[in-house]
Amino acid sequence: MSSPIAYPVFRTTDPVRALCVARQLVGVGDLQYAEVSVDVELCTVPEVLRIREALPDAWFRKEDAAGWALDLTDPTGLYGGVHAPELSSDPDFLSSHVPLWASMEYRRVDSIEEEFAALVGSNVGEIWWSSLIWPDVPDCDIRGEADNARVSLLFNCRTIGLDERSDDHTVLVHVRRRNRDGSEERHASWLAEQIGQSVIGPPQE
């Protein structure tokens, strides 16, 4: 089974510019089956309440593995995910559970991206476009790719694990990981070149 590898191709402190470049990159692919998802880490009660109000169809969850191990019954439902309308607005309850993550997954392309980019603020977040199809480029010995064709836009972070906070935003292109013979970077570079960009850092998996 194949797996993706991601290459950063653009970085900026301007979230609007980052979204513009990410969308240009998405447009290099076939969008027939494409979907978009978003995710954001919320570390304070006011931020949870703000996003709950702004994204009423979001799902909220905890990612505290140690807490889950202590109580497998998950009485709050937050390890499985709670839909925004069902999430308690009680500050005392929320303060005992932050940070929370809010996500909306597998939506129609161009349905949530601008709204989310305007809402993420200083929080660590991500928009990712999946189920793209990268084109065949026979002249460059590049094969078309569907299973691993993705684009990610990381807000206030530089790593796809969302674990390296920064003051800027990074666009990454995902391609199929092959034999580490340079073909992956060549593929990523070709895709970036189609929108006037280039690979700017080491790959991430």
Mean pLDDT of the chain: 92
Structure tokens that stand for 115 in this block: 């709204």
Question: In the structure, what pLDDT confidence band is assigned to residue 67 with cuts at 50, 70 and 90?
Answer: low
Q: Is 146 helix (H, G, I), strand (E, B) or coil?
A: coil
pLDDT at 66 over 90: no
pLDDT at 65 over 90: no
Q: Is 135 helix (H, G, I), strand (E, B) or coil?
A: coil
Question: What whole-number distance in Å separates Cα of residue 200 and Cα of residue 58?
Answer: 33
pLDDT at 15 over 90: yes
Question: What's the pLDDT score for residue 1?
Answer: 47
The number of angstroms, rounded, from the C-alpha of 170 to the middle of its chain's C-alpha atoms is: 10
Question: What's the pLDDT score for residue 11?
Answer: 98
pLDDT at 75 over 90: no
